[in-house]
Amino acid sequence: MSDVPPEKAAAHWAKTRSLMWTCLTIWFLASFVVHFFVATLNKVVILGFPVGFYMAGQGSLIIFVVLIFWYANRQNAIDEEFGVAED
Amino acid sequence: MIKGDFISNLGRIYGFYTGGFIAFVLLLAVLEQMGVPNRIIGYLFVFLTIAVYAVIGILARTAQVSEYYVAGRRVPALYNGMATASDWMSGASFVGMAGSLYILGYDGLAFVLGWTGGYVLVAVLLAPYLRKFGAFTVPDFLAVRFGGNPARVVGIIVLFCCSFTYVTAQIYATGIIASRFLGLQFEVAVFVGLIGILLCSMLGGMRAVTWTQVAQYIILIIAYLIPVVWLSAKITGVPIPQIMYGGILEKITAIEKTIGITKAHIQPFTDYNMLNYFALILCLMLGTASLPHILMRYFTTPSVRDARISVGWSLLFIFLLYFTAPSYAAFAKYEVLTNVVGQQISSLPGWVKAWGQVGLVTVTDLNKDGILQWAELKINTDVIVLATPEIAGLPYVVAGLVAAGGLAAALSTADGLLLAIANALSHDVYYKMVDPQADAKRRLIVARILLIIVAIFAAWLASTKPSDILSMVAWAFSLAASGLFPALVLGVWWKRATTPGAVLGMIAGFGVCLYYLIGTRYYGMPEWFGVKNISAGLFGIPVAFVVTWVVSLLTPAPSKEMMDFVDRIRVPRGGPVMQQD
């Protein structure tokens, strides 16, 4: 909106973008990279779960849920820091 | 006024509703003990739950355009999360996924990962920005960001291709579940399902669908958890299947070794090679983040902040089902390995015989020794969830509950898809392209008529049991990801993306994906790099990104107004960019 000065908007967007890359990196690790090592991870067994299997069936999912809530809080804090949060 | 009361009392209303539903299940359990036949119990479950959805659908009727399209943008984040979860989890997720995991073992977890991880992309890349924009539909956003009707039309075509096959499959699933538990003819059962869907969505649009989807989520999650929690308590003594199936996996592996099953449950990359496994995860995730019936749910929250947190709630509620599915598969496999395989074929457990009679379990004594071997047993994917109540030794009332849950899952997804299609036709095609002068009353009449036409057409198609359409559902994710994901994401994150870039990118990505799907399925085209056609998006998505990027750089930069527009959707402050009545 017109009430957000351009330099403030640019700084807000720079910080938003770096949060986005952080989130996508974690997403990429949990979605692909971890499962690349499934055979190695499966050699470790906790509570009966081979760890590689556990990560695909449960571990990565927990990371996704926590990541979204963390992201929502971080992004809200960024919005407030630059005074562009909703009223 | 009344609505304000309704929203502020949501906790109490759905609390009473949940309590009432549990009381209803207990009442049916008592009736069963008193000798009421199973068939009557099944009827009561199906008709009373549909009646409840219909009552909510009728109470939530509306004559306001913004209520009809986006539920007045008043749905609190938590409830929108529940509604999204039941919108998302289809009849197939509820009934079939555990069975797929039973058959595929580790490789099936690609579906569990793919259908959850996409929500990270929804939260971070799209939902808050689309909410800030303030559109009624996804094609609406494409049209404003990418200069008008060409982008809108391409968006509608992609939306229609992925949503229509999907909704047909959902109506088919309601027909299967209703016919199995009511003993109705399949074609009749499809139309019972159709009535259930129309009663929920027709009068109140998004508003009615939202509040029935919340009600449907509560039923489906209760119905999904009870049988496997019980089975876990019975087998391991602890009613937390999601933790206890670790020990069961260990036992399964040991038994597999002794009886010489070469494809172990926990063994990775047996059905899918590594390339296909990761390609499938990628396509399902990007598809999740592009499916219009999911994205439009985040148009209904009161604010951008709520849209973000609502994605978190959505995934938490979805997670409850998806992290339980692998435990269903493990417990069922353990049961089969210990109490079915190796037994005399003449004295197999009751559930094997019962599901054998309807053709979902087949036992063939290949070596004629009278004893069942692992290779002699074939189980349909639907059986795992449907038979677990019997395996756990639960009364019939729980089987009825599971049927009600499966029905809730299929109906809620059908509602959401139908609304996405009908809204694109009524808002984007009729109002924005055919008759922009139409008043609110006329627009809502057109919206409802189109909804009914699409619903009846899909139900008719489902009643013909079109095997081609049903197997195409898996394509929806690749098609949506190739056709929509790059345009939506670059529309928000790259100001330099131009109209020709986006339109050509969508056409190219969607076109490549469709070419690969049809070529490999119908014309015997060889697979590229051995990629199965369910992951066709692996080719379509990069093509769409590259074409959008190259063409955008070759064409003049978007106007100053467009750059300002993108700036406005990037900051939460200041209300929706696009004001609609």
pLDDT digits (tens, 9 = 90+) for B90-141: 988 899 899 999 999 999 999 999 999 999 999 999 999 999 999 899 999 9
> Tell me, what's the pLDDT at B4?
56
Say if residue A10's pLDDT is above 80.
yes
Residues from chain A contacting residue B323 (CB–CB below 8 Å): 57-58, 61-62
Say if residue B215's pLDDT is above 80.
yes
On whether residue B172 sits in a domain, the answer given is yes
On whether residue B542 sits in a domain, the answer given is no
Residues contacting residue B268 through CB under 8 Å, at least 6 positions apart: A38, A39, A42, A52, A53, B106, B107, B277
On whether residue B109 sits in a domain, the answer given is yes
Q: Looking at the partner chain, which of B106, B567, B572 has a beta carbon nearest the beta carbon of A53?
A: B106
> Tell me, what's the pLDDT at A38?
97
Do A13 and B124 make contact, defined as CB atoms within 8 angstroms?
A: no
CA-CA distance, B142 to B124, in Å (whole number)? 19
A71 within 8 A of A22, measured Cβ to Cβ: no
Q: Is A7 on the interface with B (CB under 8 A)?
A: no
Q: Is A15 on the interface with B (CB under 8 A)?
A: no
In chain A, residues 22-81 whose CB comes closer than 8 Å to chain B: 23-24, 27, 30-32, 35-36, 38-39, 42, 45-50, 52-54, 56-58, 60-62, 64-65, 67-69, 71-72, 75-76, 79
> Tell me, what's the pLDDT at A1?
46
A48 within 8 A of B285, measured Cβ to Cβ: no
On whether residue B33 sits in a domain, the answer given is no
> Tell me, what's the pLDDT at B160?
94
Say if residue B437's pLDDT is above 60.
yes
> Tell me, what's the pLDDT at B177?
85
B120: closest CA of chain A, how far (Å) = 6
Q: Looking at the partner chain, which of A24, A58, A71 has a beta carbon nearest the beta carbon of B242?
A: A58
Which residue type sits at B438? A
CA-CA distance, B226 to B333, in Å (whole number)? 18
pLDDT per residue as tens digits for the range B79-92: 999 999 999 999 88
Residues from chain A contacting residue B120 (CB–CB below 8 Å): 23-24, 27, 64, 67-68, 71
Residue of chain B minimizing CA distance to A84: B573
Q: What is the DSSP string of B374-433?
A: GGGEEE-TTHHHHHHHHHTT--HHHHHHHHHHHHHHHHHHHHHHHHHHHHIIIIIIIIII
Say if residue A43's pLDDT is above 70.
yes
On whether residue B459 sits in a domain, the answer given is yes
Give the start-to-end residue ranges of the domains of chain A: 6-81
Looking at chain B, the whole-number percentage of residues with pLDDT higher than 90 is 82
The CATH code of the domain that includes B450 is: 1.20.1730.10
Say if residue B500's pLDDT is above 90.
yes
Cβ neighbourhood burial of B61 (10 Å; 0-12, 13-18, 19+) = middle
Say if residue A12's pLDDT is above 70.
yes
CA-CA distance, B22 to B28, in Å (whole number)? 10
Which residue type sits at B86? S
* Dihedral pair phi/psi, residue B61, rounded to 5°: -65, 155
Model-level ipTM above the cut of 0.90: yes
Residues from chain B contacting residue A67 (CB–CB below 8 Å): 120
Residues from chain B contacting residue A64 (CB–CB below 8 Å): 116-117, 119-120, 315, 319
Interface probe for A, chosen from B80, B101, B232, B266 (most Cβ of A below 10 Å), is B266
Helices (H), A1-87: 6-28, 34-36, 38-41, 51-54, 60-81
Mapping DSSP to helix (H, G, I), strand (E, B) and coil, where does residue B487 land? helix
Residues contacting residue B254 through CB under 8 Å, at least 6 positions apart: none
> Tell me, what's the pLDDT at B354?
85
Looking at chain B, the whole-number percentage of residues with pLDDT higher than 70 is 99
The radius of gyration computed from the CA coordinates of chain B, to the nearest angstrom, equals 24
Q: Looking at the partner chain, which of A16, A56, A85 has a beta carbon nearest the beta carbon of B113?
A: A56
Domain that holds residue B146: 39-331+395-475
Do B120 and A79 make contact, defined as CB atoms within 8 angstroms?
A: no
B1 falls in which pLDDT band (50, 70, 90)? very low
**CA dist B563 to A13, B351, B495, Å?**
14, 63, 6
Do A65 and B319 make contact, defined as CB atoms within 8 angstroms?
A: yes
Mean pLDDT of B342-362: 89
Q: What is the DSSP string of B488-520?
A: HHHHHH-TT--HHHHHHHHHHHHHHHHHHHHHH
**CA dist B222 to B227, B230, B237, B406, Å?**
9, 12, 20, 11
Give the max Cα distance, chain A: 59
CA-CA distance, B489 to B1, in Å (whole number)? 38
B398 within 8 A of B389, measured Cβ to Cβ: yes
Interface probe for A, chosen from B331, B567, B573, B577 (most Cβ of A below 10 Å), is B573
Q: What is the DSSP string of B319-343?
A: HHHHTTHHHHHHHHHHHIIIIITTS
Helices (H), B202-240: 205-236
Domain count, chain B: 1
Quick one: how far is CA A20 from the chain centroid? Answer: 8
Q: Looking at the partner chain, which of A12, A16, A86 has a beta carbon nearest the beta carbon of B305?
A: A86
CA-CA distance, B45 to B55, in Å (whole number)? 16
On whether residue B196 sits in a domain, the answer given is yes
CA-CA distance, B308 to B126, in Å (whole number)? 9
> Tell me, what's the pLDDT at B471?
76
